[in-house]
Amino acid sequence: MRADLHLHSTFSDGSDTPTELVDKAHSYGCDVIALTDHDSAEGIEEALLRSQSYAMTLIKGVEVSIPAKELGTFHVLVYLPFGGKSPLEERFGELRAQRQQRNENLVRSLRDAGIDITMEMVSAKAKEGNIARPHFAAVLVDCGVVTTIDEAFDRFLGDTSPFYIDKGGLSISELLDLTERSHAVASIAHPLTLRIEPNRLYEMLCDLKDQGLFGLESYYSRYRPAVREELASLAHKVGLVPTGGSDYHGKFKVGLNPGVGEGDLLIPDAPVYELLERLDVNFPALKDRACKS
């Protein structure tokens, strides 16, 4: 099986519509994918319709940012069951309002620095989705302020830049509580972006496991194979499921493709099966495995 549990569309900060994203995932041989837009599951119906045409299994997901600047970028992937709006999704409305205020403040800050940027320019990049920092980065490239998306983050948008503005959000405890009440599961995304020593990371993961954390994104596209295995071992040591994904954003994060990342990504079957079983998502191979066991 080829799976990718971390993908973004135009409903947050990806450049592909959900339909285009599913098409691309199919072209790379994906059997199971998760759409994990930031603070939004609004693209899931479009993605589901397209995935059904390929007999591809789709997982409903979101990526949630946790304000913890002293730790670096703290993101959590939440995988949700299908059905009506969950308590977590209801909370996203408030988060979007906070993000909108952050975006307006960022435009004002950049303009005060002499950069001729407007909210209309950024909105045009976001299309129908929520405005996020990659959309600001694309405008900065268009305006000639920087030459690449990465440079835009390094100089203006990253969490260590002088223009960084914390948009606020959920605490990790609140998120895990909402996750449990939504009958969902949560996995820490790209954990090496946390500025934390290995021993402290282990202790933090143990504490979060006790609060209901399900997984640790170990098989991440931009980690070396040896690092992926180290993180998978850490996950097993703590009692977490080692999840994985490409973190595909289309043209906003170049060099990545669904299911394969930079070309060498392959998520083992076992954690994918465990996630599907936990969410009660149908996948034919689960029946075969049950019969063999």
Instruction: Identify the CATH number of the domain in which residue 31 sits.
Output: 3.20.20.140
Are 80 and 193 members of one domain? yes
What are the tens digits of pLDDT across the range 93-128? 777 777 888 899 999 999 999 999 999 999 888 876
Residue 222 banded pLDDT, cuts 50, 70, 90: very high
Does residue 7 fall inside a structural domain? yes
Amino acid at 174: E
Does residue 193 fall inside a structural domain? yes
How many folded domains does the chain comprise?
Answer: 2
Does residue 162 fall inside a structural domain? no
Q: 92: which residues sit within 8 A by CB, 6+ positions away?
A: 39, 40, 41, 62
Are 76 and 212 members of one domain? yes
| Domain encompassing residue 251 | 3-84+169-292
Report the percent of the chain where pLDDT is more than 90.
Answer: 70
Q: Give the residue-averaged pLDDT of 222-230.
A: 97
Are 115 and 260 members of one domain? no
Residue 66 banded pLDDT, cuts 50, 70, 90: confident
Amino acid at 13: D
Closest CA to 58 of 282, 221, 286, 284: 282
Are 199 and 252 members of one domain? yes
Strands 32-38 and 241-245: unpaired
Give just the sign of the alpha carbon dihedral 122, 126, 129, 132. negative
Does residue 226 fall inside a structural domain? yes
What are the tens digits of pLDDT across the range 246-286? 999 999 899 999 999 999 999 999 999 999 999 998 776 55
Give 261's DSSP letter.
Answer: B
Amino acid at 56: M
Residue 197's pLDDT is what?
A: 87
Residue 22's pLDDT is what?
A: 98
Residue 276's pLDDT is what?
A: 95
CA 6 to chain centroid: 5
Are 69 and 28 members of one domain? yes
**Alpha-carbon distances of 264 from 86, 135, 161, 245, rounded to whole Å:** 35, 28, 31, 11
Which of 118, 134, 157 terminates a domain? The answer is 157
Are 22 and 137 members of one domain? no
Residue 18 banded pLDDT, cuts 50, 70, 90: very high
pLDDT at 176 over 90: yes
Are 208 and 182 members of one domain? yes
pLDDT at 209 over 80: yes
**Alpha-carbon distances of 201 from 160, 193, 222, 280, rounded to whole Å:** 21, 11, 19, 30
